Amino acid sequence: MKADPAPSGAIPTRSRKLTRRHALKCAAGALTLSALLPSAVAAEKKSVWKTAIGLNGFQSGSRKYKQNYPIWEVLDFASRHGFDGVELVADWPAGGYPAAQEKERIQSLRRLYDQYGLRIFSIQLGAGGAFAPEEAARQSWLQEFRDRIQLATQLGCDCVGMWPGGGLRGQTIDQAIERLAKTFREAGRIAGDAGLLACFEIEPVFVFNTEEHFHRILQGADHPALKGIYDPSHFDQMNGATGKPEEMLLRVGVKNIGYVHFCDTDSTLRDGGTSKHLACGDGRIDCAKSLRILKDGGFRGWIMVDEWEVPDPYDACIKCKRVIDEVGRS
């Protein structure tokens, strides 16, 4: 006589044994997973900053060292090494920026970077006209700046960078600083209205090249959307080439930094006269110390690796990002 079938929903004896064994394995696996979880979470911890490469380094390398850096190779490198974005320069790899009304060119430019998962976080702008002696020239610069802000907005930028190069053109340094600060105040207003930061950098080759100049420009402009760029190599020169750029960073105040051009330096100048930029570990400064000051001071913006005239910009990007990530994830 056949045995009665198991009641509906009951588990046969063999199946119950397998289930208990499976349950024990699952419990052991869960314990192992819980033990590994803290290290796994730590490994996946994100940096407090977004990192970028500067096309200026590849531009300067192409010119100074006669190297060829195809743009697709540069962007593929940035994507593979975990960078979040790029800062554009006007004349590299080809041509200038499109005007704000050239919608198709702008969309095409943005698509190029989107393909590699990269943000265009900033565009570099010359600012020699911002302290021209003539009012008409300064107004002309502001009109162009308005167009560039519209361009930056369409490209998805968070910032624009400004470099006030050029001579005094018959004015005193005090007059030039006063005019630049006034123009930069208006630039800050224009950028701020568009939800962007306007950030400036001064360096040894400019007529504005001291810590005093930096403070006077910043304080004279006096606008919340107008900030400075922290570049350790330039700050080192303005701090007496002591190898301690973080000292000037502390005096300027982290709250006044819009974004960072990051590098190491040996406290000397390049042939062209500006501060020597080096890969982290190839110079003399404590790169991590500056980053800790920025982090502790609440800076949470963009840090771009500045490979200006570095013979191997790829190497500089890797070495600098390693330090940025170590501090940003700690």
C-alpha dihedral, 303 to 305 to 309 to 310, nearest 10°? 150
Can you tell me which residue has the tokens 């265009």? 120
- What span, in angstroms and rounded, lies between the C-alpha atoms of 129 and 304? 26
Q: Give the distance from CA 162 to its chain's centroid.
A: 14
pLDDT at residue number 9:
36
**Residue 253: inside a domain, yes or no?**
yes
pLDDT at residue number 45:
85
Angle, helices 287-296/245-252, rounded to nearest 10 degrees = 20
pLDDT for 302-319, tens place per residue?
999 999 999 999 999 999
- What span, in angstroms and rounded, lies between the C-alpha atoms of 120 and 302? 11
- What span, in angstroms and rounded, lies between the C-alpha atoms of 154 and 157? 8
**Residue 60: inside a domain, yes or no?**
yes
CB 75 within 8 Å of CB 86: yes
**Residue 42: inside a domain, yes or no?**
no
**Residue 4: inside a domain, yes or no?**
no
**Residue 25: inside a domain, yes or no?**
no
Q: Which letter, b or e, does each residue of 211-222 get, where b requires 16 or more Cβ atoms within 10 Å of its Cβ?
A: bebbbbbbebbe
C-alpha dihedral, 237 to 243 to 244 to 246, nearest 10°? 70
Q: What's 156's domain CATH number?
A: 3.20.20.150
pTM across the whole model = 0.87
SS3 at position 269: strand
From residue 70, alpha-carbon distances to 43, 74, 89 in Å are 33, 6, 15
pLDDT for 198-228, tens place per residue?
999 999 999 999 999 999 999 999 999 999 9
**Residue 34: inside a domain, yes or no?**
no
- What span, in angstroms and rounded, lies between the C-alpha atoms of 294 and 249? 9
**Residue 85: inside a domain, yes or no?**
yes
Total tally of structural domains belonging to the chain = 1
* Tens digits of pLDDT across the chain (330 residues): 333 433 333 333 333 344 444 444 444 444 443 444 444 444 568 999 999 999 999 999 999 999 999 999 999 999 999 999 999 999 999 899 999 999 999 999 999 999 999 999 999 999 999 999 999 999 999 999 999 999 999 999 999 999 999 999 999 999 999 999 999 999 999 999 999 999 999 999 999 999 999 999 999 999 999 999 999 999 999 999 999 999 999 999 999 999 999 999 999 999 878 999 999 999 999 999 999 999 999 999 999 999 999 999 999 999 999 999 999 999
pLDDT at residue number 44:
61
**Residue 7: inside a domain, yes or no?**
no
> What is the domain range of residue 206?
48-328
| End-to-end Cα distance, the chain | 72
